Structure 1
Amino acid sequence: MLTPRNISIRFKIAVGYILIICCLGAAVVIVSERIQSLQNEIETITSRDMEIHNLITSIRYNVISMETSQRGYLLTGDENYLKPYTESKAEWEDNLNRLSGYFNDDVDKRRDLDNIRATIQHWIETSGEPTIALKRENQTEAIIDYYKTDSGKEDVDQLRDQLEQLRLKHLDTNRIYIGELEKRNELLTLSLIGILIAVAVVSFFIVAYVSNAIVRTIRQVSSTINEIADSRGDLTKRIKVNSKDEIRDLADATNVLLESLESQSWVQTHVADVATMNHGVNDLKELASSFLSKVAPMIGASYGVFYYRRGAGEQLRLDKVAAYASSGDEQAKSSFRFGEGLVGQCAQDKRPFLLNQPEQYKASITTGLTELQPRSVLVIPVEFESKVIAVIEFASLDPFLAQHLKLLESIEEHFGVAIDNVAGRMEVERLLGESQAMTEELQAQTEELQAQSEELQMQQEEMRMTTEHLEEQNLYAEQKTKELEQAKAELEDYAEKLRQSAQYKTNFLANMSHELRTPLNSILILSQMLYENDSKSLTPEEEGYARVIHSSGNDLLTLIDDILDLSKIEAGKIDLVVDEVNVSEVPEMLKLSFDPVADKKGLSFLIEQQSELPQIIRTDGQRLQQILKNLLSNAFKFTESGTVTLKLHLADPSIIEERMPDAQAEGFIAFSVIDTGIGIPKDKQDLIFDAFQQVDGNTNRIYGGTGLGLSICSEFAHLLGGCIVVDSELHKGSTFTLYLPYEINEAQLELNQALLEVAAAAPIGAPSRPSEHAVPVADVSVPEPDSSISNAEEPESSDEDSAFQNKRVLLVEDDARNVFAIVRALETKGLEVTVARNGQECLEIVDTDSSYDLVLMDIMMPVMDGFETTKALKKHPLMKNTPIIALTAKAMKSDQESCLAAGASDYISKPIQMEQLFSLMRVWLTKQVEH
């Protein structure tokens, strides 16, 4: 963008041309405007004249039309002849008003128009309207009498004369106006000639001024350049030009060139001074100090530090060697790693850093009177063979200039060679000194070796005798080695037998679980159907019997689950899922579970929580809840009146040190379950943590239970890295406290599981605890809450049952009791059920009829088990998309995974909860419909 401070030659020439063009343009605009004005006036006269003539003609036509229409009506009496009369009567006055608008400034013509208006109105009032009225009244004689005089004819003739006179007056006015336009046109021609002459004179003066300004400036620049050339290399001389155009730009560019040449000359001079400084220097510290003392004044630096590269790999560092104007060791850091701070980053990136106005630069420039903060900091690398070997830092009270950077870059190119040479000479001197010292040491060692040689000769004889003795011992060791290998083989064989024994035990428990769950499945299903009494065929007493049967079945199921949990723990097969657990959510979930129990027994259930507790701990949340639920269930079971309290607080470090000496005393949380129940005698507080043991120990126990709950809780607590501690007094209540770390030790967890596996494989009679430090935990066995405590589920709505209507289910089950129970339950929902007794029978049914919406597949069956049958159905072309729900009585995780791997869509464990089964069926039947 051009400004008054920078007026170029092109601009000056352009301004001249623009001024000339503007003058010509002004002349053209004036002439065009006048021509356009004349043309507009002519067009106005023409269009106005034509409009006035048209209006005069229209008025004459309106009057003639009224007269003709009036006469036609008087002759015929037909009203249609009056239509032109009516229209003209409405139009003539409008046309006359429009004509009057053209003569607003002409009084004479407006007077004529008023006369015309009066004549027309007189005709209408005296001739037109009266005769029409007489005709309508059929007064023919009166009309004839009127036309004998015919006064209306005089009005019409007078109107013609008046309109003609008006037209002639208008023509005379137009002729006068046209004469005036011709005079104005002649004046316009004379004005155009005068404007052209003035434009030519102005253009001449503009061209003369512009050319003179350009030539004068060029001569000034040429003269100054010649003076610089005659000054024999005086690069400090500068060209001064007053004009603000391209000549000024040329002068400025020449001045920049002179400044660059002056700067290069300054840089080369100082580079030569620094290069001569390095001769004869053999010490790196001396070289660094000399360099800083020489270069700092050159670039105006008031402070400087020299860092040298030492070490390699992870030990690679930049160490401070020398400083300039330093007031103490605190001014500069003694060492940097590569990438640390600007010094380390400069070495790593191999590029300089320039900071202006550093706000938190620790070093200060110290004088005798004060300390000053630098305004600019410069950090530059020194390279040798593409490797940074040193970094130099300068600080100044004034900003560093571009020529300072150029000087340092030029010095850096060869200063690295000087540093490497000095460092090489120092290394040679060091090696030479070490070599001399080693030579002296070798001489001493040679004399010592001679003495040792004589001693060795004596020792050789002793070694020979020792060798003979060792050969005898070697034969004995080989014999012992063979015996140890044989013992090792026997131990490995024994360990394999122990592993097989543990596997047999696990398989036995899994199979026993299946055999127990299969009849229990039908008991629970049929008893639930009985006490729900949908058909209303049972008495309330019979419903109570059925509810007791169902509750007993649930107790039996709980016992089976406890035995399986205990066997998994002893076999080392417990898998813990460690995740983050929100501490504040634990008591809320437990309160929801045990508030109904407390209400039923009339007890108070309190929860206390310290504010200093951590919000999150890392542990197995499911096992934590299982332990706390068992402890709370025991507390409610053995408390007849009073309160049960769950307290969350920080663990006492002294208790942790006493119970778990290998653990960190800090970082533990405690969950205390406090009751006001029967209490536990001191001599029974260790016994209750053994399997199948309770406080009373008799066959006919008051409170029931298996005695497995606390044993399982104790083992879970050890697996989670904690312990359970009991504090109780007979008839006064008990306090069970679970101590857990904030974050479970993964290594300790693996060790505990490994110890469990070892213990599981141990011979009969060996201890089954996972650790020698197992801490006993108090309380009795943990029963599941009675079925009467839990709220009975409401029957499903008809909308939910509609998903089962007209659906066909294939049940593959070999147990007749389960078949009876499941078929009855399914048919009550409106399902059509087909039964196959084994896998082979299932495939035969499918071959003949494959239109089933769902398959319920038992796993343990004769002839062909559920796994093989499921795989075969998934290969069947018509059944591969049919959902299959596996019914497994085995509770092992591997069995459930095997069901899904065989192709089952989902699985449910026996004994079957029918509501859970219905929910699964509803999900898969809905997906089947969508598919």
Structure 2
Amino acid sequence: MLQNVRLTIRTKILIGYFLVICCLGAATIVVSERISSLQNEIETIASRDIEIQNLITTIRYNAISMETSQRGFIITGDEAYLDPYIKGKKEWEANYNILYPYLSDNPAAKKILEEIKLIIENWIATAGEPTIALRKDNNTQEIIDFFYEDKAKQDIDLLRIQFENIRQTEIESTQNHLMQLENRNNNLIIGLYTMLLLVSVAAFMIVSFVSGTIVKTIKQVVKSITDIASPGGDLSTRINVTARDEIKELADATNALLDNVNNQNWIQTKVAEVATMNQGINDMKTLAESFLSKLAPILNAIYGVFYIRQGAGEQQRIVKIGSYAASGEEEGIASFRLGEGLVGQAAVENRTFLLNTAPDHPIIIKSGLAQVTPQSILVVPIEFEGKAVAVVEFASAESFTSQHLKLLELIENHFGVAVNNVAGRMEVERLLSESQVLTEELQAQTEELQAQSEELQMQQEEMRMTTEHLEEQNLFAEQKTKELEKAKAELESYSEQLKQSSQYKSNFLANMSHELRTPLNCILILSQILSENENQTLTPEEEGYAAVIHSSGNDLLALIDDILDLSKIEAGKVILTMDEVNVSEIPEHMKLGFSPIAEKKGLSFQISVADDVPAVLYTDGQRLQQVMKNLLSNAFKFTETGSVTLCIQNADTESIKKYVPSCLNDTVLAISVTDTGIGIPKNKQQLIFEAFQQVDGETTRQYGGTGLGLSICNEFTRLLGGRIVLKSEVQQGSTFTLYVPSRPNMEKEQLAVEHHEAAAAAQDIVPAPDWMEPTISQANEFEVSLFKGKRVLLVEDDSRNVFALVKALESKQFIVTVANNGKHCLDILQQQTGFDLVLMDIMMPVMDGFEAMRAIRQDTAMLETPIIALTSKAMKNDRDKCLEAGASDYISKPLNMEQLFSLMRVWLTKQVGH
């Protein structure tokens, strides 16, 4: 049964990969189990050691608190000083009972702990309680005598010594456990390398076996094809493959190709035979019978009739002049009018007729021994200059094949010329006969008639030659015309495909932006609410988890923006805003952003600015800072120890000539970022500037990232008219130098974008109006009183976003009503009124946000109600579409709730003002 299973090459390779992955999976499970076991032991030792040290410190603190409290009470007589003594007396023994089981495996530490207990109990009995009792009785003299003798000092000093001894003993015990774990870890590493070697050997054997089975079959096919293609090779040979995969399909396709080649050769051979047959024939009947006799055996026909077109005008008829294998009355109809029967219709339409079922055909083909009834009839017109000059009919006891039809199609294209030539020659002969008769009657005009006859013959020959030449020219022109039309059609098709590809790409980016931003919006909103922990229901550790989720979501958002930036650059839709940039502010921005990173990683971050650097640079400040931030981010990412240095200076003339020669007359800044990180090999220094590329796979696994940052830096720098130059040595660090020209004469681009749209697109905070600048506490109370009880209609189809937004809005005391799409929104507005604000999603089923906003604005009661559009596409013209549809404002997903609340505050305040 397995022999009938079709194993494709892909299946074989997948089976090999599956076996290799199984080996790797087994090894991974074993190693993971051992690593998990070691990790658990390390965590157990660490937590136990910390707990023991904390308990020792707590008992020591209890003892010292009792002593300090006792002395304070004795000195002051204030019983408030006895509270630490009473508390310590209650707690030290409980802490001792907790600590004692931890030291059960360390006899030395256990013995010291028991001595500590005895010392504390002795001090309480001999010093603590007696002196407190004396002070309560105001027996000052006995207290003085007690301290004069200093009975308790020896116990306290001994207690300190014993606490230090037990701490040192426990530290030594922990070190011994760590040494044992290190030995076990070394054994694990040795086992890991051994297992890796075994897995590699098994994988090599599996791959060798799978590739061997594939290559063996391919070599067999190649050998067969080589034998067939060699000089003298037999085209009738066929490739035989026993494998049941794609190579078997390749062999079958090759065999089919060979069959087709053989068929073509057969057709060309037969066409040549028919063409040579026409030579030397000057009689139409002889031509017809020769044609039938030659072609009928080739077509396996058992009957044939040849009809010629005769007459002119309405008197034209199709007349039979020859037949094949016919006898008696069964030779067929003698003639047809044009359009009469299949023969007459074939002459009118220049069309071939094929009848494969003719059970009641009157024609019966006779031989000496039997009679045969034809099963297939074929009627073929012979064409000359677009006109059927003859019609041929064949009958066969079996069906005609496509190969037969193809042969007749090729033959009829030139046989019409042969028919016309023979007809012309017969006409010439007829005229010659008539002239001979006239010659006998008119002896006097014999010479003149002979001259006329010769001249007429020459003219006809010239006409024949001219006709043949014109036919050749006509065929050549038609062929060239068809080739030009085909090339034009191909170019138009290719151009249309390019347009569609560009449109598909734009639609894909827009839709993917929406599909990614919609769930990302829910993640960012809910993680922000959790991290703020306003209800204090989360532990600090859980707050940290929420903050990490929120940070990761922002990283994903940055990745989406990077991909959109690359797409805009590629499409040539990036608009540069050329304006004055204060160079002195750049170091402060970079220091503010990256100094915390340097402190966290323990790196030195230095910034130097040359004295002769111009105060103002004319360029796109936003793009310039984006490039610098990407370069500094990479420097800190790939640097573990050492330093990162940012240097800003004027570029020297040689560097300008070499890297930006078009800016020789402009001021050019050289901004370099130098690190002491891992460095970049020479052969990888151009690769890293391509999209989604890093130095190698190991760099990706260790440091993460998508490889988009440097690609975007390179493209933005090119748009700014500059260049990025890299110098790097492996393990020595890298220096990225950014050459940026100052272009004061360039026209400034004015972007028609309001401040709050720019804030929404760049994920910045929307600035409040000048009249909204009270203190922070006053602003919060302003906000609470403004939001409380306001009715908000949320139109959103995604249940995750609905859940997140409702939670966030209700935390600000909004009253929220939810609509699942635009139609549901309109239904709610017909039943309820008095909404203070509408939050409208754009991409929804049934009715989208654009259509819903247009319908809302047609209601005079809703003309002044603020509508804030929410969209996930974030494409360039989304804002204009939203405002045209009736939106009051626009914000892109994922939503920053502070931005959203700021926008809502602005529009609700305007409503209050109205």
The alignment's TM-score, normalised by the length of structure 1, stands at 0.42
Question: How does the TM-score come out when normalised to structure 2?
Answer: 0.43
Larger Rg: 1
